[in-house]
């Protein structure tokens, strides 16, 4: 056996990569593996969003604020607080309201109205920041992702699976709240 080969009881057979072995000891260890991957991915993604925006000239914005900015810019249609909460599956409306207030304070979005409902719409300054963010993203992230040769159809399938999983977690959350 070479000095680099793993023995049958060595690190190669440690089991799935999880944050809590006691959770992986249940009926579906792969779910624990997915959950840990989501935590790691989520943290890396949140960090990336804020730093990409900063590199694009949007100083002092949190990942949530950047996501709200992009959503308000999406398809150049005004968005209500309810629209944004629904889009991101956010229960605490204060999180979105605070983000909108901060974005408005920086001149990136402006208030509007749809009937009696308050809305937010992108400003020219906000739209320019979104374009600059896209350019930084293309240069720093998309180019390196393309070099990996990942199957984009498979990535779309993984995204669809992740959305299905979010529905399962929402249902389980409702069940847990009723206990």
Q: Does 80 reside within a domain?
A: yes
Q: How do the pLDDT tens digits run along the chain, 179 residues long?
A: 444 444 444 466 677 889 898 999 999 999 999 999 999 999 999 999 999 999 999 999 999 999 999 999 999 899 999 999 999 999 999 999 999 999 999 999 999 999 999 999 999 999 999 999 999 999 999 999 999 999 999 999 999 999 999 999 999 999 999 99
Q: Does 166 reside within a domain?
A: no
User: Residue 140 maps to which CATH number?
Assistant: 1.10.10.10
Give dist(CA 161, CA 158) in Å, integer.
5
Within 8 A by CB and 6+ apart from 91, the residues are 85
CA nearest to 136, candidates 71, 58, 62: 58
Using alpha carbons only, give the angle 66, 117, 163 rounded to the nearest 5 degrees: 45
Total domains present in the chain = 1
Q: Does 160 reside within a domain?
A: no
Q: Does 5 reside within a domain?
A: no
Give dist(CA 159, CA 171) in Å, integer.
19
Residue 79 has a CB neighbour count (10 Å cut-off) of 24
Q: Does 76 reside within a domain?
A: yes
Give dist(CA 131, CA 43) in Å, integer.
24
Q: Does 156 reside within a domain?
A: no
pTM of the full predicted structure? 0.87
Where in the chain does DSSP place strands (E)?
79-80, 109-114, 117-122
Structural domain boundaries enclosing 134: 50-145
């Amino acid at each position: 056996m070479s000095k680099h080969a793993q023995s049958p009881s060595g690190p190669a057979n440690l089991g799935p990569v999880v944050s809590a072995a006691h959770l992986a000891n249940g009926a579906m260890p792969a779910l624990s593996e997915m959950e840990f991957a989501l935590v790691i991915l989520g943290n890396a993604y949140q960090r990336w969003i804020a730093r990409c925006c900063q590199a694009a000239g949007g100083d002092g914005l949190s990942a949530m604020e950047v996501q709200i900015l992009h959503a308000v810019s999406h398809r150049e249609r005004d968005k209500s607080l309810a629209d944004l909460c629904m889009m991101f599956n956010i229960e605490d409306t204060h999180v979105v309201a605070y983000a909108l207030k901060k974005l408005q304070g920086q001149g990136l979005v402006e208030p509007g109205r749809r009937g009696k409902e308050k809305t937010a719409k992108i400003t020219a300054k906000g739209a320019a920041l979104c374009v600059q963010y896209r350019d930084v993203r293309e240069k720093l992230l998309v180019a390196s992702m393309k070099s990996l040769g990942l199957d984009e159809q498979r990535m779309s399938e993984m995204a669809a699976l992740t959305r299905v999983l979010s529905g399962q977690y929402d249902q389980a959350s409702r069940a847990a709240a009723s206990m």
